[in-house]
């Protein structure tokens, strides 16, 4: 069905893009591997958490879940459950994508920013895009991944942790 908007623009109203937002923080500790965007990165510290603590994938997962009005990652995969101990966060994204499908939706895109002082993220971005796209079963060019520092300010600037932010667009039936 075609709807005529006051501006004169016509739009198909069979689907509407819903947006979701996600944010996550994990503490950096010694003796843990560093997983970011589904990629293991060589670094002297890793992120602490019940799962692999992939702060970027967690933020993306919450963004996708938010777009379909679902509970957050913690309600889907409670840290109290031993089965998620050291679990690869790819599983969480796969579950979020499955929930989108069950809602008769399709993921339009995700865009995420990692906030960390070190290490350099840029060389790993292409592999992260592939890993995120595969987990969500969407084309790689629908995944945006960026990184920035916190200009040495605050807990992120002191390297005490890393933060991830993400948005997602999901087409849902009108
Ligand atoms: Mg998390």
Q: How confident is the model at residue 14 (pLDDT cuts 50, 70, 90)?
A: confident
- The alpha carbon of 147 and the centre of ligand 1 are apart by a number of angstroms equal to 17
- The alpha carbon of 20 and the centre of ligand 1 are apart by a number of angstroms equal to 16
Residue 17 buriedness (CB in 10 A; 0-12 / 13-18 / 19+): middle
Core vs surface per residue 49-74: b (16+ CB within 10 A) or e? bbbbbbbbbbbbbbbbbbbbebeebe
- The alpha carbon of 51 and the centre of ligand 1 are apart by a number of angstroms equal to 8
Q: How confident is the model at residue 79 (pLDDT cuts 50, 70, 90)?
A: confident
The whole-number pLDDT of residue 83 equals 86
Report the percentage of the chain scoring pLDDT > 90.
83
**Average pLDDT value over all residues in the chain:** 93
Q: How confident is the model at residue 1 (pLDDT cuts 50, 70, 90)?
A: very low
Q: How confident is the model at residue 91 (pLDDT cuts 50, 70, 90)?
A: very high
C-alpha closest to that of 136 among 85, 161, 101, 166: 101
Residue 3 has pLDDT above 90, yes or no: no
Residue 170's H or E segment, with its range, is strand 161-173
The whole-number pLDDT of residue 57 equals 98
Residue 7 has pLDDT above 70, yes or no: no
Contact 70, 170 (CB under 8 A): no
CA gap 57, 59 in Å, rounded = 5
Residues lining ligand 1 (ion), CB within 5 A? 24, 58
Residue 128's H or E segment, with its range, is helix 125-136
pLDDT tens digits along 49-59: 999 999 999 99
Contact 25, 131 (CB under 8 A): no
Contact 87, 135 (CB under 8 A): no
Residue 165 has pLDDT above 60, yes or no: yes
pLDDT tens digits along 120-159: 999 999 999 999 999 999 999 999 999 999 999 999 999 9
Contact 13, 3 (CB under 8 A): yes
- Roughly how many angstroms between the first and final C-alpha of the chain, as a whole number? 11
Beta-bridged to residue 106, according to DSSP, are 171
Residue 4 has pLDDT above 70, yes or no: no
Rounded mean pLDDT, 3-13: 53
pTM of the model: 0.91
Rounded mean pLDDT, 85-97: 95
- The alpha carbon of 48 and the centre of ligand 1 are apart by a number of angstroms equal to 9
- The alpha carbon of 131 and the centre of ligand 1 are apart by a number of angstroms equal to 17
User: Strand, coil or helix: what is 62?
Assistant: helix
């Amino acid at each position: 069905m075609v709807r005529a908007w006051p501006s004169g623009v016509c739009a198909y109203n069979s689907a509407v893009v819903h947006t979701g937002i996600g944010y996550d923080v994990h503490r950096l500790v010694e003796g843990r591997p560093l997983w970011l965007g589904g990629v293991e990165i060589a670094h002297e510290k890793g992120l602490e958490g019940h799962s692999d603590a992939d702060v970027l994938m967690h933020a993306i997962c919450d963004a996708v879940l938010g777009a379909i009005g679902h509970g957050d990652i913690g309600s889907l995969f409670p840290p109290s459950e031993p089965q998620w101990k050291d679990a690869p966060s790819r599983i969480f994204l796969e579950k979020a994508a499955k929930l989108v499908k069950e809602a008769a939706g399709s993921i339009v895109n995700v865009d995420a920013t990692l906030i960390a002082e070190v290490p350099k993220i840029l060389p790993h971005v292409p592999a992260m895009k592939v890993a995120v796209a595969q987990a969500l079963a969407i084309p790689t060019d629908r995944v945006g991944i960026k990184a920035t520092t916190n200009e040495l300010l605050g807990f992120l600037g002191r390297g005490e942790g890393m933060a991830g932010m993400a948005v997602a667009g999901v087409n849902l039936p009108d």
